[in-house]
Amino acid sequence: MHDDSLRVWRESPVFKAVCRAEMDELRASTPSVQAAIIATADGFDVADVCSDKRYSPARLSAMASSMMALAGAVAKEADYPDCGSLIVESSGGKTIMMSLPGTDGRLVLLVIADNSTPFGMLLMNGRQCAHRIQQRLNLTSDSNN
């Protein structure tokens, strides 16, 4: 009845370590990134790299799951099949949320960045990070069940 793949991902040290390593790589290649978090679709934090303690991975994970679910509902209302990513633009910076490829939307990558990196580059680097996680963990839709 429960989503066992999500639970396995939440509890796997290897999974968490790979996610952290790739998010560290994202921060190294994109200095504007202040925090990156992998969250489950039902709002639990799996792994995070944060520049300081003002960010709460638990709280941000719950918010990311709500936001992606709402964005998915908007996409459905517009007759689109899914929602791949969501962007929050602010004078203080940008936040990107995107479904991790190969997880059928069950995992979300959240990236918080200041405005020092051009948006296109931030988005591209975030997507590359998500794809690297997918490749290293061999995530496919078939592996979800």
- Applying CB under 8 A, which residues contact another protein? 1-4, 6-7, 10, 40-44, 58-59, 62-63, 65-67, 69-70, 72-73, 77, 105-106
Of 26 and 97, which CB lies nearer to another protein in the complex structure?
97
> CB burial class (10 A; 0-12, 13-18, 19+) of residue 114?
middle
Give yes or no for a contact between 38 and 46, defined as CB atoms under 8 angstroms apart: yes
Tokens of 12: 């796997």
Cα–Cα dist 135/55, whole Å: 28
Distance of closest approach, residue 6 Cβ to another protein, in angstroms: 4
Distance of closest approach, residue 60 Cβ to another protein, in angstroms: 10
Distance of closest approach, residue 11 Cβ to another protein, in angstroms: 10
Of 120 and 142, which CB lies nearer to another protein in the complex structure?
142
CB atoms within 10 A of CB 37: 25
Of 93 and 105, which CB lies nearer to another protein in the complex structure?
105
